[in-house]
Every structure is written in C-alpha cells, then in structure tokens.
A = this chain, B = another copy of it.
Amino acid sequence: ADTIRIAVTPGDGIGPEVVGEAVRCLEALRTKHGLDLEWTRFPWPSHAWHEEHGEAWPEDALEQLQKFDAILLGALGDPGPMDDPERYLLPDSISLSPLLDMRKGFDQWVCERPARLLPGARQYLADDRAKDIDMLVIRENSEGEYVSQGGRLRKGTPDEIATQMEVFTRKATDRIIRYGFEQARLRADDRVRDGRTRTFRTLDGRTCESQVCLITKRNALRHWGDMYTEAFEEISQEYPDVAIHHELVDAACMKFVQSPWAFDVVVASNLQGDILTDLAAVLSGGMGVAPSCNLNPTDPDMPSMFEPTHGSAPDIAGQGLADPTAMLFTTARMLEWLGRKDPKLAVAGEALFNAVAADLAEHSCQRRGTREIGSAICQRLA
C-alpha cells in the first residue's frame, strides 16, 4: 500500500491546540502500529489570511488539499481581535466558508455524526436509559437547503424580499438513503460481533437488528418530502432486514429528547440534519465529545474531511484549556475511514477510540488542560 498522506488544517481559535494533541496521538500510533502515515500542516488562520489576501483561505487551497488522502480540520471561525475596534472583524460567513467549499469541492456528500453517550460524558437527560443512546445521524451534505441560490430584492428597503431556493435531486436522495441502509447493516453486524444486539420492529410486526429513520417535513415542505418518502420506500425494499421509520423533523426533535435510545440510523436533509446532529451531539455528551465526518464514499481521488462538531471558541483560545476529546474521536474516525486503504489504520483508529473512551470514563467531567488530556491518552496508546 502507498503511504497515506493527511492534510492537517488546524484552523482558528482552539483549533491549533486540539490538533496539536491529535498529531501527538498520530505519532504515538505510527510508532506503535508501524503505520505508513505522513501529514502536512497547513496553518491558514482565517483572520490573518483574510486581512492580507481578502479571503479566508488561499485561492488554491482546494487544489493543495486534493492531493491528500484525508483532511483533518481543527476548527474554523475567527472574528479577529474583538478588543481592538480599529481592526476589522471577520464575519463567520467568511471564516467558515472553507468548510462549505471543501464539502462542495470534494463532493463530500455524506456528513456522518455518530452520537453515543459514552461513560464519563455529560448526561443532560434525566432518564437513565440515555446511557443507551447510540445513533448515527447521516446528513445529506451536497444540496437541498444549502445550494446557495437566492438573493435579496429591493435590499434594505421596506419592500425587500429575500429568497432562498431549496433544490433536491433524486440522485442525491437515492445515494444518501442507500448509504443509510448500508450503515444500518454494518452497525447491526458490528453489534452482533460485539454481542450487543438491539431489536427494532418493522411496520408489519417483524423484528430486525437495525433501523433507518427518515426525516422530512413533508406535511409542509411537500415536494421534496414526497420525493424523499418515495425514494425511501423504494430503496427499503432492497433491505428487508432493516426496519424503517419516518419522522417529521419537529416530532423527531421531540423524540430525540423523549427516547433517543430508540434511534439507530437517522437520515436527514442538509439543514434538518444540521439541526438534528447538534441536538444529538448535546444529548450524547455535548460538543466536547462529538466528531463529524464529511465523506465522499464514491470517488477515491477526493479526500474526505474530519472535524470535531465544536467551533473555534475564540474566548478560550491559546490558553491550553480546550478539551481535545472531540478532536481525538474525530481522528479515530478518520483512521477507521482510511482503513479502506490500509487495514492497519482501522486497527489504529479503534485503538485511539478505545484510549479516548477509557480516558473519558476515568476522568469524567474533571477539569484538565488540553495537554494533560492529550498526554494521558498518548500514554494509553504507547
């Protein structure tokens, strides 16, 4: 197998700090597992870069990144020095734009966000069954509400009209739904292997070992809601072993709070998935532990991108206070993903996941610094 090359983009705020720990863990894993792994750092702090060049990242950023097998991103979002009103502030819409550019440019059409409430993670729900939360929210990441079509007519006047177009194609709908069913099967297999099977009931009363829940708002946003539903029903025929379920997005939010342990795989549109993944993240311990993966499962020449769900937290940046746990879970997920190119990486990814989970379980909500947590995990890896 060829050397696997990772582009490391620390980004803004706490990004560089948490990425620092990820790199230390990668080093430990490389030694321990004899991985053929390399990485290159691209320090593009968006505020500084924008001040000099008028954009958040270099113009040829995507070209540079495309040569890599994966992108490991810290965090984006850098308003600049808030306490110096003389200097201009960079709005999120610019400093976060590389995120959307990468998703689009590399056709990362799946956004995958696992939500498991691991021992030691903060539990927001009163019901103790929350300990069993173990779902995978799959977000359509290439179109829908995020096509950026629309504008402002008579801007700034009392007669202004702002529009935003939502565009859904059957092609992208089919592929994300099919991806959901495939993940459901894989998850069921994993559970059987680990001896922790779950059962879900189909509409006609049979029991299955996995489930896909489709989210729409088809009672109000009828057109794509109907198309999603039709695609879902058609594709589900090919997966009689997977139970199916349908929720409206508003009801889904409610059920995420009432009985999140009842969900397995959840498939949602771009915006609805954005909302549900944040909700699922908090219910399974919060931003401090939530990984996010932007995947292109179809084109091997396009790198996938891995980032923690949390933001750049500029208020605590540079102080060594940021919790690298989410970043390290994200790194573990990246290695597992790269296991398709070199199986050793999947083994390393699992080792990293286990080390981070063990650290979390042992230290729970204890206050520790970025480096302290990273060191503890590196020690477990060695």
Partner of A166 from B163, B226, B251, B254 at Cβ < 8 Å: B163
In the assembly, what is the distance between CA of A230 and CA of B283, in Å? Answer: 33
Q: Of all chain B residues, which has the CB nearest A95? A: B219
In the assembly, what is the distance between CA of A208 and CA of B281, in Å? Answer: 32
Check A158 for interface membership: any CB of B closer than 8 A.
yes
A223 touching B171, Cβ below 8 Å: no
In the assembly, what is the distance between CA of A254 and CA of B290, in Å? Answer: 12
B152 touching A226, Cβ below 8 Å: yes
151-174 of chain A: CB within 8 A of chain B: 151-152, 155-171, 174
Query: Taking A159-B170, A161-B167, A230-B156 as contacts, is the C-beta distance between A223 and B151 under 8 angstroms?
Result: yes
Stretch in contact with the other chain, from A38-46, A142-150, A189-197, A318-326: A142-150
Q: Is the interface of A mostly helix, strand, loop or mixed?
A: mixed
Partner of A253 from B155, B157, B253, B287 at Cβ < 8 Å: B253
In the assembly, what is the distance between CA of A353 and CA of B97, in Å? Answer: 48
Residues of B within 8 A of A145 (CB): 220-221
Residues of B within 8 A of A159 (CB): 169-171
A257 touching B275, Cβ below 8 Å: no
Q: Of all chain B residues, which has the CB nearest A227? A: B162
B258 touching A278, Cβ below 8 Å: no
Q: Of all chain B residues, which has the CB nearest A91? A: B219
Stretch in contact with the other chain, from A6-14, A118-126, A237-245, A296-304: A118-126
In the assembly, what is the distance between CA of A99 and CA of B249, in Å? Answer: 18
Residues of A in contact (CB 8 Å), total 62
A257 touching B283, Cβ below 8 Å: yes
Partner of A162 from B96, B223, B275 at Cβ < 8 Å: B223
B219 touching A92, Cβ below 8 Å: yes
Identify which of A96, A218, A221, A253 gathers the most chain B CB atoms within 10 Å of its CB. A253
Check A271 for interface membership: any CB of B closer than 8 A.
yes
In the assembly, what is the distance between CA of A93 and CA of B157, in Å? Answer: 36
In the assembly, what is the distance between CA of A145 and CA of B169, in Å? Answer: 18
Q: Of all chain B residues, which has the CB nearest A94? A: B219
B227 touching A254, Cβ below 8 Å: no
Check A222 for interface membership: any CB of B closer than 8 A.
yes
Q: How far is the CB of A216 from chain B (nearest CB, A)?
A: 11
A223 touching B124, Cβ below 8 Å: no
Q: How far is the CB of A375 from chain B (nearest CB, A)?
A: 28
In the assembly, what is the distance between CA of A381 and CA of B161, in Å? Answer: 49
Partner of A274 from B93, B174, B250, B286 at Cβ < 8 Å: B250
B254 touching A257, Cβ below 8 Å: no
Identify which of A127, A159, A165 gathers the most chain B CB atoms within 10 Å of its CB. A165
Check A282 for interface membership: any CB of B closer than 8 A.
yes
Residues of B within 8 A of A338 (CB): none
13 A–B contacts, CB within 8 A, in A order: A92-B219, A124-B127, A124-B257, A151-B223, A161-B168, A162-B169, A162-B170, A164-B221, A217-B271, A249-B275, A250-B275, A251-B278, A254-B281
What 5 A-B pairs are tightest by C-beta distance, nearest first?
A160-B170, A162-B224, A250-B278, A164-B166, A162-B223
